[in-house]
Amino acid sequence: MSLPANSATAGTATAAGRAAGRAAAGAGATQPRAIIGVSLKMYFGYQRTLDYCREVAAVALAHPAVQSGEIELFVLPALPALPEAARILGVAGAGAGAQDIFWEDEGAYTGEVSGRTVSELGGRYAEVGHAERRRIFGEDHRTIGLKTAAAFRNRLTPVLCVGELQPGSVEEAIRHCTADIDAALNRAQSLGPARRTIVAYEPQWAIGAPEPATPEYISAVIAGLDGHLRGLRGQADSRVIYGGSAGPGLIGQLDDAVAGLFLGRFAHDPKALRTILDETAARLGLLSGTAAA
């Protein structure tokens, strides 16, 4: 099932109203019980991105847990597709955002895109600190903190990526990632008020690997990160999700502290994404015959 380019059905209008209501309610709205995000990186061209978003919108429209707001669903496309992706996904109760933003809102910064512009284009999320940007572009704690502040300032939810370089102990991973979280949020809060943050725990050694980290390892690390994050000033509503070769079959094996998944190539097939949404709903006890973990 796919949505036409200019769908105006009653179902999409109803979903759009719900999405707008949740956005307008802001911090006072009921928080979602799970979060599923997808990054398209630079894999899709413009038209394929929009086709994918129409397929995802159809999945979202048909999924009660997305329509009720129990599951928060968002997609991060390549920037040129963001305005149309945000429109397509928005009428289905899902969100869109950018894979990166600059730390200033305007100025002589050739080639950069501000959080203000992302917000104007309909974006609701801004990914910051991904391992590829740290490795390829040399982004450090200072840069990531400034970008996190820019997201907060422009009412974008930062998707703050953290993760250790090499496999090790749970304690080492927690220590490394809490330092990353603190560096970003402390810098951001020195420049203005903080808002809700989605932390994506992505062990760098698992990104692009055939398999994710083990469920036991993921659960133990995120339990530690979740307790730390939500104890910080202004972060009571923030949550931690897992990324790093995540795909179907994983979410049901994870501890309740893991709020959801940040997906890459394993969700580039909308059918796989639908499976993951069903597994997430089952984990929450939202499908008939299931019970919450």
Residue of 63, 72, 127, 130 marked catalytic? 130
Cβ-contact 186, 180 below 8 angstroms: no
DSSP letters spanning 250-281: SGGGS-TT--EEEESGGGSSHHHHHHHHHHHH
Which burial class, exposed, middle or buried, applies to 26 when counting CB atoms under 10 A from its CB (0-12, 13-18, 19+)? exposed
Unique residue bearing structure tokens 């931690």: 240
63 labelled catalytic? no
Say how far apart CA 7 and CA 74 lie, in whole Å.
19
Q: What are phi and psi of 141, to 5 degrees?
A: -55, -40
Which of 103, 220, 97 minimizes the C-alpha distance to 159? Answer: 97
Which of 69, 71, 58, 57 minimizes the C-alpha distance to 251? Answer: 71
Residue of 139, 164, 202, 279 marked catalytic? 202
Q: What 3-state DSSP class applies to 82? A: helix
Active site residues: 130, 202
